Chain A
């Protein structure tokens, strides 16, 4: 049985349709990246899966518990890390952890707290107020707190926003360690490098599942062809390239331009005139995940518009 199996999740806030018909399956022990544009209802979907919101429509099970009826059971076996730090800033690190230990009825409380502190490497700073921690440490504390009760499923909502690369890498090492121990992880993110660290990627845009599979599968499935153009003052060619039907995306990367299209022949035709410029280097390059996502985003209509 899958750890998460939900079908047709729909949520409205007043008149606004926030999540429309989202279906999702996550196998046990997987790390699944949950992607989609802003406002596509990722946070709301995650909140529905951990029992924080009641779906208006749809059904399914999480950890074998019914999404609608067994919310309290789900809560006790799921770890949920919120987007914004939501532990108590006016409590010390230790006080926060023992609060969590007590709520989940972890006994003995002192031992669980101490072990978590030591694992975090925060034992010496245990009496510091949580609010004084830097962004990276807050995030590590939050992860430690929401995995303290050894949940079988971990739901992470954009966990590494505003965290430096080192802390982010440490964070992901920890996620992979937890997954290796059998924890299932669903993580929503906007960062490509984070998506690339997942076993599987699910891209949802306004209720539609646009891609589902490993990184390689998703990139291959998008059917995009990419060329990298480099040379002096390369940006000046952007207006010219935008005119071409064969070019679907142009993205500047430093001194280079990534030019992408689904139609390989049309793309080559469009790039032909640039070959006359001797100082411009044109070479085919691998399509990045970002290019794929931007294609998805421009294909689907944004419901904010």
Chain B
């Protein structure tokens, strides 16, 4: 018998490992579930050249040229006019709220200018995420000029000269298209989510695994006291992280701080609350720290992909967007980017903050319901 490798001993080890793997159902489910989840999310939901981005149309004219331009933009699949006939001020508000990525304005003299060879459309793009709007913006002038040219062909009396580029493009909120402006505020959310959910998810499982839970429950501490005691320290940890990321974002990356600090910090607090409660909820379900970690990652991965952090939210199919709505990170990214980059006010981010508050309330109730003050 060999000292280094005995098939018999190796088989003994293998059998034991497989038995243990099979007994730990959650790990087993993760091993099968995670690749499948990744495949579906990456495969179907993620699009680096996003199409169908929401756009608002401010059309101050109605003529063959403008109609041709609108349908050409829609046919390009980059633009999807979710709001037509918007007033200029309304369109700008939608852009700031993030409900549309573009505002396309066709001025009243558009037909005249088109016939003169200089179609003067204005495209304002939300450039906070340069990746989302880049391709659409780049292709827009050519699409417009081609549409105008095809209308002019029907009228041989007009001069069919080559059009020079005359479409005006405003990249708003991040005119230089600096990726960091979009990523760093997003990273704030991602960093908070990763650390806080992970740390709080082992809050109860650590007690259970070390056997201290039995003692803790035998002493007169109420479920609410235990929850607050477990969760509050991590809110403080979150506070430190927020300071570090914001200061570094300012000093290292020159992130603009357009909006109000109070609104920013109170929105962050709501987000942090939702994260620690989420982690605590996980820890009421997981039986071991290992399971808690796995559940955290099971949650972390899709939230990273579907929240709009890594890939443009607007470019995802509707089902993926709907799924993305359940993650606090999705709502937080909207809030933090709107406040920091666009200087959004309360009424412009309120719907996302309310969504975060709903997350907090639901998680609070679920965590308290799941927590058992007995060992049953």
Q: List 18 A-B contacts (CB under 8 A).
A: A47-B375, A52-B218, A52-B374, A53-B374, A53-B375, A53-B376, A72-B220, A72-B222, A76-B220, A80-B215, A80-B218, A82-B211, A84-B211, A86-B210, A86-B212, A87-B212, A100-B219, A103-B221
Return the chain B residue nearest A142 by Cβ.
Answer: B215
Q: Whole-angstrom distance from the CB of A102 to the nearest CB of chain B?
A: 10
Q: Is the CB of B220 within 8 A of A104?
A: yes
CA distance A53 to B376 in the complex (A): 6
**Complex: A85 Cα to B217 Cα, angstroms:** 14
Within 8 Å CB of B221, what residues of A? Answer: 103
Interface class of chain B by DSSP: loop
* B211–A86 CB distance below 8 A: yes
Q: Are A52 and B220 in contact (CB under 8 A)?
A: no
Interchain nearest-CB distance for A67 vs B (Å):
12
In angstroms, Cα B225 to Cα A103, docked, is 10
* Chain A residues in 8 Å Cβ range of B176: none
Contact call B212/A54, Cβ cutoff below 8 A? no
Residues of B within 8 A of A76 (CB): 220
* Chain B residues near A (Cβ < 8 Å): 210-215, 217-222, 373-376
Residues of B with C-beta under 8 A to A52: 214, 217-218, 374-375
Q: Which residue of B lies closest to A85 (CB)?
A: B211
B306 to chain A, nearest CB (A): 37
Could you tell me the distance between the alpha carbons of A86 and B206 in the complex, rounded to whole angstroms? 12
Q: Which residues of A contact B213 (CB under 8 A)?
A: 86
Q: Are B218 and A51 in contact (CB under 8 A)?
A: yes
Cα separation A173 to B365 with both chains bound (whole Å): 48
Cβ of A182 to closest chain B Cβ, rounded Å:
21
CA distance A47 to B373 in the complex (A): 12
Find chain A residues with CB under 8 A from B211 CB: 82, 84-86
> Total A-B residue pairs with C-beta atoms closer than 8 Å?
49
- Across the interface, do A88 and B212 meet the contact criterion of CB distance under 8 Å? yes
Complex interface bits, A93-119 against B, C-beta within 8 A gives 1, otherwise 0: 000000010011000000000000000
Question: Which A residues are CB-close (under 8 A) to B375?
Answer: 47, 52-53
User: Which of the residues A54, A71, A89, A104 comes within 8 Å of B219, measured between beta carbons?
Assistant: A104
Complex Cα gap A201–B373 (Å): 31
Counting contact residues on chain A (CB < 8 A from B), the size range is 20 to 34
Taking CB atoms, residues of chain B closer than 8 Å to A50 are 218
> How far apart are the CA atoms of A52 and B220 in the complex, in Å?
11
Instruction: Point out the residues of chain B lying under 8 angstroms from A53, CB to CB.
Output: 374-376
- Complex CA gap A146/B373 in Å reads 19
Q: Bound state CA distance, A104 and B218, in angstroms?
A: 11
Closest-by-CB residue of A relative to B225 is A103
Query: What 8 A-B pairs are tightest by C-beta distance, nearest first?
Result: A86-B215, A76-B220, A80-B218, A75-B220, A86-B211, A84-B211, A103-B219, A86-B212
Closest to A13 in B: B376
Known: A47-B375, A82-B218. 7 other contacts (CB 8 A): A52-B214, A52-B217, A82-B211, A84-B211, A89-B210, A103-B220, A104-B219
Given contacts A85-B211, A86-B212, A87-B212, contact A54 B218 (CB under 8 A): no
Convert A253-269 into 0s and 1s, putting 1 for each residue whose CB lies closer than 8 angstroms to a CB of B. Answer: 00000000000000000
Q: What are the residues of chain A within 8 A of B219 when measuring CB–CB? A: 75, 100, 103-104
Complex Cα–Cα for A233 and B218 (A): 52
- Whether B214 contacts A54 by the Cβ 8 Å rule is no
The digit string for A39-54, where 1 denotes a CB below 8 A from any CB of B, is 0000000010011111
CB distance from A233 to the nearest CB of B (A): 39
Min C-beta distance of A68 to chain B, whole Å: 11
Q: In the complex, what distance in Å separates the CA atom of A72 from the CA atom of B219?
A: 9
Please indicate which of the listed interface residues A52, A87, A89 has the most CB atoms of chain B within 10 Å of its own CB: A52
Chain B residues with CB under 8 Å of A104's CB are 219-220
B222 contact set on A, CB distance < 8 A: 72
The distance in angstroms between the C-alpha atoms of A85 and B214, with both chains bound, is 10
Tell me the bound Cα distance from A286 to B376 in angstroms: 44
Min CB distance B224 to A, Å, is: 12
List residues of chain B with CB within 8 A of the CB of A88. 210, 212
- Which residues in A have their C-beta under 8 angstroms from that of B212? 86-88
- Of B210, B219, B222, most buried by chain A (CB within 10 Å of CB) is B219
Shortest CB distance A154–B (Å): 12
Task: Name A54's contact: one of B210, B215, B220, B374 (CB within 8 Å).
Answer: B374
